[in-house]
A and B are shown apart, each in its own frame.
Chain A
Amino acid sequence: GEDVEQSLFLSVREGDSSVINCTYTDSSSTYLYWYKQEPGAGLQLLTYIFSNMDMKQDQRLTVLLNKKDKHLSLRIADTQTGDSAIYFCAQGGGSYIPTFGRGTSLIVHP
């Protein structure tokens, strides 16, 4: 199976919170990342979390890491239409090449 798995689609209403989930396989990963890709563009690093942390908050973004279950989530508070994009979870760091999930398409509707 894939090293990093994500659901493919998420649809939310503007103003609601979005939660994008990811599971990964490599327990030795030092860093876990969330990237955002807008149509026709490259990937923009949104946030990351060290593997020795459980939570990281950055303005509207909250990352939760459950190392036991190898589960990572990204919560976007007060989701806006400008948040519509594909969100990629990635594992990496140390001696490992960053590996990416297939991405979750977030659709924000009024």
Chain B
Amino acid sequence: NAGVMQNPRHLVRRRGQEARLRCSPMKGHSHVYWYRQLPEEGLKFMVYLQKENIIDESGMPKERFSAEFPKEGPSILRIQQVVRGDSAAYFCASSVDRNYGYTFGSGTRLTVV
């Protein structure tokens, strides 16, 4: 049973380009959470999704960021027109229900040059 798979592990984008980060939850998990970790900071919640629904996006910046979790396929975090301040590690976690058992992926480290 594979864990939470995130790809790519490392992503380099020039300012103004788009970044797409993918997360495949563990088998049987229908809850997905995205977090951002800035250098020397903790994890900041961004968005919580269930299949085809955004449940809570209170941590998402209002512009340029979007997330989806389609019926088929991985969850996608999309950042349009990236800026240097978007450089961070982005982690995805999944769970079978919202009470317990958050399993994290290894993260995608985005560098904006």
Q: Report yes or no: B43 in contact with A100, Cβ–Cβ below 8 A.
A: yes
Taking CB atoms, residues of chain B closer than 8 Å to A31 are 99-100
Taking CB atoms, residues of chain B closer than 8 Å to A94 are 98-99
For chain B, the count of residues having a C-beta within 8 Å of the partner chain is 22
Taking CB atoms, residues of chain B closer than 8 Å to A97 are 33, 45, 48, 56
Taking CB atoms, residues of chain B closer than 8 Å to A62 are none
Residue of B nearest to A2 (CB): B42
Taking CB atoms, residues of chain A closer than 8 Å to B105 are 42
With the chains together, A88 CA to B43 CA distance in Å? Answer: 9
CB distance from B89 to the nearest CB of A (A): 9
CB distance from A92 to the nearest CB of B (A): 7
Interface stretch, picked from A10-18, A43-51, A66-74, A75-83, is: A43-51
Taking CB atoms, residues of chain B closer than 8 Å to A92 are 102
Q: Report yes or no: B104 in contact with A43, Cβ–Cβ below 8 A.
A: yes
Q: Report yes or no: A41 in contact with B102, Cβ–Cβ below 8 A.
A: no
Taking CB atoms, residues of chain A closer than 8 Å to B103 are 45
Q: List residues 88-108 of chain B with CB under 8 A from any CB of chain A.
A: 91, 93, 98-107
CB distance from A104 to the nearest CB of B (A): 10
Q: Report yes or no: B99 in contact with A93, Cβ–Cβ below 8 A.
A: yes
Taking CB atoms, residues of chain A closer than 8 Å to B56 are 97
> B63 an interface residue at 8 Å Cβ cutoff?
no
B contact set with A: CB distance below 8 Å? 4, 6, 33, 35, 41-43, 45, 48, 56, 91, 93, 98-107
Question: Can you list 15 pairs linking A and B with CB atoms under 8 Å apart?
Answer: A30-B99, A35-B104, A41-B107, A42-B4, A42-B91, A43-B93, A45-B102, A93-B98, A93-B100, A94-B98, A95-B98, A97-B48, A98-B33, A100-B35, A102-B42
